[in-house]
Amino acid sequence: MPAIKDTCENVIKDHIVRAVTDVFGTMLGHEVGDGEPCGNARVASGERNTTLDPAPVMVVGTVGFLGDVNGLLYLYFDATFATACTGVLLGMTQAEVAKSGAEVVNDAVGELTNMIAGSFKNNLCNAGHTCKLTIPSILRGRNFVVEPTSSARRYAYRFDCLGHKIVTDIIMNQDE
Amino acid sequence: MPSRILTVDDSKTVRIIVRKAFRAFDCEIIEAANGVEGLAAAAASRPDLIILDITMPVMDGVEMLMKLKADPALKPIPVMMLTAEGGREHVLKIAKLGIRDYIVKPFKEDTLVEKVGRIIPLKQTSEIQAKPRSIVDPADILVVDDKPAIVSQIRDGLKHTKWTIHSAVSQAEALEYCAKQTPDLMIVSLSLPDDSAFALYRSVRNNPKSKGTPFFGLTVKTETAMQHAAQQVGITAVITKPIDLIELESKMAKALNLDTSLRYFEIQGDSIIMRLPEACLPAVLTDVGHYMKAKLPEAVDGGINQAIIDVHLLTGVDMGIIRLLMQTTQTCRELGMNYAMVGNPRLTEACREFEDTKEWTFCETTDAAREHLARVAAAAGSRAGFQLA
């Protein structure tokens, strides 16, 4: 199995920035700023990564990818921006989104995460690392931190979008 | 009739986006959340196109596609894959499954509409006339084939319609015809020399006047490579020889967006008559079911409260026919309409074999059905009089 360590951090960043820019631009018509790293240190047992600032309520989409490369991609929104993006995506007013409930927002965030993971994964595949995606799932809440259970390589980037912050957090296996 | 698009995706978000994309068009969007639901919806509604996601729970898109292709009734429905996975190998893999096109997420709604528009006709809702063209209206059909026998066969097979069949033997002759007038539909032999059928298709599509003209390709059943090539370029439909004229007429009516309800529904005096033809293909049952839901309430609204369901041409029953007749009789009861069925002895015998139909009774003729309905109405009238008294 090819070792992910051969894929340098710049390439990973390039893939994820393109994916986020493409998805937000195409589906929402929103421009995003350049992704700034916000904590890509290797996480060893006992060391907490606190670079992701807790927000009032977070809505987080997650999609896994499996194959030559194994990992998870998380996409963090604050709940307000998640609701706004849902309205744009589905052609609904904020009042309509609020009336429809959290399920609609969760589904929209899940789909955006799916698309970003898909774009990211396609770039990996084209570089020779084939893998498949899992179906998305959603985390919702406040003051939580996601940590890998074993040592892994982590790539987290923060993007500015219309005054809000979104964060992508990719956790990937090292060579096995 | 609106174009029917079935969207199969486990993401409600994507289904809403697809629905939103076609809001400005005369389209009916049917939704399914996985492959199992998708197959059921495809069988029930016979959509004009399926937009199919790949990664879904219960049954994924690849499995659903394979099951569609294995079902002779569903195989002709064009499928467009909508996928988040756009890698080269993956795209090549799904292309081999026999899809008409694919679109990778993220996608612009305009791109989706454009790609769909290459497969099925899309009419903007502002273009819809108050009275759509019907099966009894004239149309000009251009058949381009260098074999006179094929042209004769089509002309003879469609002589009961108001359609005029014009003919051309070559690409050049066809273009000469099109320069004078735009046909309503073209049927072109894909075996014209020098691939001229495909060149003709490109010319027709590049001309703004004929850009939306339905273009059927005609080829031998075993020429699968030719059929595949035709589907790839976006030819409206492929008709295989030997030609099934009933199927051809049905596909032409659909492509011309004709209201075919007059084939099956008629107002006669104080009754609406629903008539099933002898050859009840699944597409016919779907059409009749679709119109029935509108025609019966329309009749009641117009003061008609009697329905005669004329199935005397049928030689047997199958589940599709039973389902349609049950839906029709149920609708009559819900609307408060009296109804009677017209059949034949063979049909009565066949109905005795099924639990749901063994109690059904049939009149011998529509006149007998009218007399029966008159007796029912009279009996209801005298009961009402007795109660008032």
- Which CATH number is B145's domain given? 3.40.50.2300
> Residue A131's CB: how many other CB atoms inside 10 A?
17
- Distance CA(B151)–CA(B142), nearest Å, equals 10
- Answer whether residue B198 is part of any domain: yes
List of chain A residues whose C-beta atoms are within 8 Å of the C-beta of residue B107: 26-27
Say yes or no: B71 and B151 in one domain.
no
pLDDT of A139: 93
Q: Which CATH number fits domain A4-47+56-173: 3.20.20.450, 3.40.1190.10, 3.30.420.40, 3.40.1550.10?
A: 3.40.1550.10
Which strand (E) or helix (H) includes residue A66?
strand A58-67
- Answer whether residue B127 is part of any domain: no
Of A22, A107, A133, the CB nearest to B85: A133
Say yes or no: B112 and B138 in one domain.
no
Q: B125: distance to nearest CA of chain A, Å?
A: 19
Say yes or no: B100 and B203 in one domain.
no
Q: Does A100 touch chain B (CB under 8 A)?
A: no
Of B13, B84, B85, the CB nearest to A90: B13
pLDDT of B273: 95
Whether complex ipTM tops 0.90:
no
Domain boundaries, chain A: 4-47+56-173
Say yes or no: B154 and B200 in one domain.
yes
Question: Number of structural domains, chain B?
Answer: 3
**Nearest residue of A to residue B19, measured between CA atoms:** A90
Q: If DSSP codes are grouped into helix, strand and coil, which group holds residue B383? A: helix
Q: Which ranges constitute the DSSP H helices of B118-165?
A: 148-157
- Answer whether residue B122 is part of any domain: no
pTM above 0.95, yes or no: no
Say yes or no: B11 and B93 in one domain.
yes
Q: Which of 29-88 (B) contact A at CB < 8 A?
A: 55-57, 83-88
- Answer whether residue B171 is part of any domain: yes
Residue type at B79? V
Say yes or no: B103 and B151 in one domain.
no
- Distance CA(A9)–CA(B261), nearest Å, equals 64
* CA distances, A56 to each of A77, A104, B376 (Å): 11, 20, 70
- Mutation for testing the B interface, residue in A122, A126, A129, A135 having most B CBs under 10 Å: A122
Mean pLDDT by 10 residues, chain B (389 residues): 92 93 91 96 94 90 93 93 74 80 88 89 64 78 95 93 93 90 93 91 82 90 87 86 89 86 90 90 84 92 93 87 91 93 89 86 92 88 55
Residue B140: both structure tokens together: 């000009």
If we measure between CA atoms, which residue out of A160, A148, A174 comes closest to residue A73?
A148
- Answer whether residue B124 is part of any domain: no
* CA distances, B348 to each of B20, B281, B317, B363, B385 (Å): 47, 20, 10, 10, 35
- Which CATH number is B315's domain given? 3.30.750.24
Q: Does A118 touch chain B (CB under 8 A)?
A: yes
Say yes or no: B158 and B277 in one domain.
no
Low-confidence ranges of chain A (pLDDT < 70): 1-7, 39-55, 174-176
Cβ contact B13–A117 (<8 Å): no
Q: Does B105 touch chain A (CB under 8 A)?
A: yes
pLDDT of B145: 95
If we measure between CA atoms, which residue out of B206, B149, B199 comes closest to residue B174?
B199
Q: A38: distance to nearest CA of chain B, Å?
A: 26
Say yes or no: B37 and B146 in one domain.
no
State which residues form the domain around B354.
Answer: 261-388
Q: Does B89 touch chain A (CB under 8 A)?
A: yes
Of A104, A107, A114, the CB nearest to B84: A114
